[in-house]
Amino acid sequence: MQNKKNVILISGTSSGIGFEIANLFLKNKNVVVGISRKNRIVHKNYHHLKIDLSNRDNDIIIKKFFDKKKFRLTGIVHNAGMNIPKKFNKITKKDYDIVMRTNLESAFFITQILIKYLKKNSSIVNISSFSSISGGPFSSHYAISKSGLETLTKNLAIFFRGKQVRVNAISPGLIKTKLAKGYKNHPYFNRVILNRVGKTIEIAEVVKFLISDKSSYINGQIINVDGGMFFR
């Protein structure tokens, strides 16, 4: 039987920003379908799909799940991301492929799968990174994957124009997560006008806004949530 509550699919829910986003939506009485290799969330409205998003063969698991549950989606949040920090000349083909498959390909092909499950006036939010602006400066494969995700955001906004589905992206700055461990030593930390690192809840709240009807005239945008990193 179709659930009458809002259903949000979120990738990368095991920790950091994705974990925070999932818990915020659950707190607001939504149904959340989370995708990650590990699970730390236990809630009556939470459904977990244990999937490695670097392997496209696993995408069929998502389709089978929605076929079985008959859920209709209010929102999709492509948050899953991974990095293998290396200088350009040290990045292997294996490194490049796994980063691109996880960060960019998963959003591309999972969105294809989920088109028919999207409700009218639903919303897609892609989580990018300030690396798409800075170009790295380290881990060029990661920066390229996030730049591609921003281009995909604009392309999908055009593609969905007749389906009344909005697509936007958030570009977080330095956020206090395991991925940004040692942020105070990051070369861009001193550029942040607010002189502090961001919190995961500050990203989650913007995601919530973009999924909601309160952002109904925002479409195809890349929203920087970085404390003013690129103004000095």
- How far lies 165's CA from each of 27, 179, 180, 191, in Å? 24, 31, 32, 35
What are residue 78's DSSP bridge partners?
Answer: 126
183 has catalytic annotation: no
The one catalytic residue in 117, 142, 183, 188 is 142
d(CA 22, CA 18): 6
- How far lies 8's CA from each of 29, 95, 151, in Å? 11, 30, 23
Paired tokens of 203? 């990203």
Q: How many CA within 13 A on the CB side of residue 109?
A: 18
- The residues annotated with a catalytic role in the active site are 142
